[in-house]
Amino acid sequence: MFGRLILLITALGSTVLAGTAGPGAKAVPTDEAAITHLVNRLTYGPRPGDVERIRAMGVEKWIDQQLSPDRIDNHALDARLARLETLALDSRTIIQDYAEPAMAERQQRKLDESRELGTGSREPGSGNAEPNMLPAAGSRMPSEAERKDREVLTDLEEAKLLRALYGERQLEEVLVDFWFNHFNVFAGKGQTRNYVNDYEREAIRPYVLGKFRDMLGATAKHPAMLFYLDNWQSSVAGATGATGARGAAGAAGARRVTGINENYARELLELHTLGVDGGYTQQDVVNVARAFTGWTMRPREGSGFIFAPGRHDRDEKIVLGHTIRGGGGIDDGERVLDIVAAHPSTARHIAKELAIRFVSDDPPAALIDRTAAVFTSTKGDLRAVVRSIITSPEFYAADARRAKVKTPFEFVVSALRATGADVRTALPLARTLRDMGMPLYFCQPPTGYDDTAATWVSAGALVSRMNFAVDLAKNQVRGVRVPLSEEQTMALKIGAPEFQRQ
């Protein structure tokens, strides 16, 4: 009876991962505590029987399998995802069939209301509100077009939860979450929301165990990133904004563009590659921004990446000591990506971020050094980098175990996995995460959601987690059924106040 309660308490606690194996590293431990630690770090938490299954399979074989997710049968998850009809849609379809009809309807309604009032007032609540938020009590219910538009993001939220809950390719899902945060885009910013589905599917997921340079290039060219960090508007001074088949050189229609925008250039250096202390200067930021002029898109059309040569700065640029000759066109941006992907500061920055995710909030310097060396020697092979961490002595060290505080997403999912819960609909869980301060795909800063305890540990946050655990134990979480007997449920109800004070 108290086994499930212990599992819930464990879900409230911490998770851990590994370091980097160097020459002569010891064999991976296979005792129960080590396997439990491994599962807590490489998955979204152990399900009943997982530790025994991994021991029977062999720990190293299971690690190899998780590092090669294409070899893992995931059909049970696929069946759960099949009803989410928008997941496989391209951005053009999403904009034309979902976003545009809802936008046209909202504009017509505001026009009609303005005429009735005899003013140009805006509809209360219009603007940049999260499009997947349900209307407040007493407010107007969404129309069919608005409901359909919101479905794009609610399908994506539900899919993320279902993949974490029921997917067998657990390490892949952990890494998709990690790299989406690393290359974060905010679904609440204008047209970005219409591209998030495609962004995760095409620019993140295929590369999490591939080459870092490939993922860096995919995110740089994706419309979600181009719009979110404004590079689609960046242009050499004096260019006009016509695009491709429509005319001259840009993506914003026949209008003057605003000039060079440094937003993407700065985040590329500070967050995506070198790190804030990576040795770049403000002049590097300017020259990187110049190199990416003309990298653009056609917003509200669902187009992919477009290079507009008439908007590109063709003069010579110097980036991190490398000279980029004038007249290179699109290759100027590609050259910048090559330079920063191979930079020693990038190797160290990525090594530290992964070590923080898998080992501790303050990972050992020796682990970071070895991981950075693997990144450099393999030219950014992320499978090799992750393997070096999760088979390292630091990963299994006693002070690494239970050293990580879970994010709200990790906490909720691990509690559900630990109790063997049956999730019939995950949308109420997405709302729970919003209440806990972690709305999926709606992290506004380019840093993404933090992965350290300081962000998530507070009195209010812990109360929210304990309340969720108690509701789960009492089978009072909407859309979720926990397989407890009546006697177990009653015992947990009686013990709930004491549990809440732990």
Average of pLDDT values for 106-123?
69
- Residue pair 333/220 in contact by the 8 Å Cβ criterion: yes
Average of pLDDT values for 228-241?
84
User: What pLDDT is attached to residue 238?
Assistant: 67
DSSP code at position 381: B
> Would the pTM count as exceeding 0.75?
yes
- Provide the residue type at 63 as one letter: I
- Confidence at 102, pLDDT banded by 50, 70, 90: confident
Inter-CA distances, 96 with 89, 188, 287, 348, Å: 11, 19, 36, 43
- Confidence at 371, pLDDT banded by 50, 70, 90: very high
- Provide the residue type at 116 as one letter: E
Q: What gap in Å lies between CA 448 and CA 450, rounded to an integer?
A: 6
User: What pLDDT is attached to residue 441?
Assistant: 98
Record the tokens describing residue 94, joined without a space.
């999403």
- Provide the residue type at 58 as one letter: G
- Confidence at 444, pLDDT banded by 50, 70, 90: very high
Instruction: For 309-363, write each residue's pLDDT tens digit.
Output: 999 999 999 999 999 998 889 999 999 999 999 999 999 999 999 999 999 999 9
The percent of residues above 70 in pLDDT, for the chain, comes to 82
User: What pLDDT is attached to residue 153?
Assistant: 95
User: What pLDDT is attached to residue 234?
Assistant: 96
Domain edges within the chain: 1-16+404-502, 91-134+142-212, 240-341
DSSP code at position 149: H
List helix spans (H) across 118-143: none
Instruction: For 117-133, write each residue's pLDDT tens digit.
Output: 765 544 433 344 444 44
The percent of residues above 90 in pLDDT, for the chain, comes to 70
